[in-house]
């Protein structure tokens, strides 16, 4: 178990602490967060896609217990907030997550078997949005959309200051809007979903298409599909590799058109980009801004900011999950 941080615990005198958990398809991040949004302790462990939900929760509980042992005297944990894909914040469940063979589980009840603390859950993109609104680049924004560009494409939407949930807690599944009805097969069982193009895995598929269509040399030709990552593509783009640059440009253009459509639907002040794919920086965001300006309605051109998250990668959802349970404790309607 690898818990880091804690040096500031004694002098900070922080007593009012919550735990934020970002349950990802590959890794899970856990943090102890004070009321100013400072991460005092952090830990990360592999999620293990084939493990049962009960096995996962037992490992999570062990990490939180270890963190509890490191708290300064007098400091107590007041609650646990969880950010997860396929989370239903209205029911407290995780429902058939695509990357984990869990089916539907009541994660709140399972975590409460280990801790007699309030536990809250929301979808990972909503948590990232909350974290960004409280402590990041979207601070104070009431109409803002967060796009999380990782293995898939998730979104959190704040409209008039309230996070949109929908009837089933499933609002904001933009990743599964159709970009091309005859396009790539998606994990959801349909074809041509946006996330099969605009995500880290979509970028890899675009690289594969370009390798088949073009003949120019590129280091990408000697990397197997399984070893290919979005980070590699970004690094090669920085080195000037034409194929890597083209793959990011195509991905960025799709992203910009998506944002133009979202602006038409929600009229946001800004769209915040978050997640591993965003590390490509201007190679992705530049073409996205260009495509946005070409495709957006006149009222939105030059008027909707496309921003990159100001929080460290992986922190926004942990911080947001912490905010969520704080809201629960103070009686604010949970998002």
Cβ distance to Zn ion smaller for residue 15 or 188: 188
Interface size with Zn ion, residues (CB under 5 A): 4
Q: How far is the CB of 186 from Zn ion (least distance, A)?
A: 3
List C-alpha distances in Å: 301 to 8, 56, 291, 297: 45, 46, 11, 6
Alpha-carbon gap, residue 293 to 77, rounded angstroms:
47
Bridge partners (DSSP) listed for residue 121: 82
> Does residue 155 touch Zn ion according to CB under 5 A?
no
Cβ distance to Zn ion smaller for residue 22 or 173: 173
Token pair in block for residue 283? 């190679």
- List the x/- string, 256-295, binding to Zn ion by CB under 5 A: ----------------------------------------
Q: How far is the CB of 273 from Zn ion (least distance, A)?
A: 20
* Binding residue (CB under 5 A) for Zn ion from 3, 117, 159, 188: 188
- Given a contact cutoff of 8 angstroms between Cβ atoms, the answer to whether 219 and 227 are in contact is no
* Binding residue (CB under 5 A) for Zn ion from 23, 149, 158, 193: 193
Sole window of 20-28, 146-154, 183-191, 240-248 interacting with Zn ion (rule: CB under 5 A)? 183-191
> Does residue 186 touch Zn ion according to CB under 5 A?
yes
Within the chain, what is the greatest distance between any pair of CA atoms? Answer: 65
Q: How far is the CB of 241 from Zn ion (least distance, A)?
A: 29
The sheet carrying 153-159 orders its strands as 162-163, 153-159, 144-149, 270-274, 305-308
> Does residue 236 touch Zn ion according to CB under 5 A?
no
What backbone torsions phi and psi does residue 149 show, to the nearest 5 degrees? -110, 90
Q: How far is the CB of 190 from Zn ion (least distance, A)?
A: 5
Token pair in block for residue 250? 């195509």
* Footprint of Zn ion (CB under 5 A): 176, 186, 188, 193
């Amino acid at each position: 178990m690898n818990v880091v941080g804690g040096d500031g615990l004694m002098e900070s005198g922080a007593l009012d602490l919550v735990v934020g958990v970002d349950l990802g398809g590959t890794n899970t991040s856990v943090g102890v967060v004070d009321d100013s949004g400072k991460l005092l302790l952090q830990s990360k462990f592999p999620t293990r896609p084939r493990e049962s939900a009960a096995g996962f929760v037992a490992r999570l509980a062990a990490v939180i217990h270890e963190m509890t042992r490191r708290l300064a005297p007098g400091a107590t944990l007041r609650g646990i907030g969880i950010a997860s894909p396929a989370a239903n914040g209205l029911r407290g469940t995780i429902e058939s997550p695509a990357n984990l063979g869990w089916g539907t589980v009541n994660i709140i009840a399972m975590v409460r078997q280990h801790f007699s603390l309030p536990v809250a859950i929301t979808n990972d993109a909503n948590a990232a949005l909350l974290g960004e609104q409280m402590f990041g680049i979207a601070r104070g924004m009431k109409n803002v959309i967060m796009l999380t560009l990782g293995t898939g494409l998730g979104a959190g939407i704040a409209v008039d200051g309230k996070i949109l949930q929908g009837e089933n807690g499933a609002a904001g599944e933009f990743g599964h809007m159709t970009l091309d009805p005859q396009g790539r097969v998606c994990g959801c069982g349909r074809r041509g979903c946006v996330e099969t193009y605009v995500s880290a895995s979509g970028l890899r598929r675009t690289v594969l298409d370009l390798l088949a269509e073009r003949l120019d040399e590129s280091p990408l030709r000697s990397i197997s599909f399984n070893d290919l990552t979005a980070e590699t593509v970004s690094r090669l783009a920085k080195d000037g590799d034409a194929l890597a640059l083209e793959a990011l440009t195509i991905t960025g253009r799709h992203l910009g058109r998506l944002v133009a459509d979202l602006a038409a639907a929600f009229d946001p002040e800004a769209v915040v980009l978050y997640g591993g794919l965003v590390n490509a920086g201007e190679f992705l965001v530049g073409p996205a801004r260009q495509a946005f300006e070409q495709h957006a309605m006149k009222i939105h051109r030059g008027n909707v900011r496309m921003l990159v998250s100001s929080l460290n990668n992986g922190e926004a959802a942990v911080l947001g999950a912490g905010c969520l349970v704080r809201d629960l404790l103070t009686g604010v309607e949970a998002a």
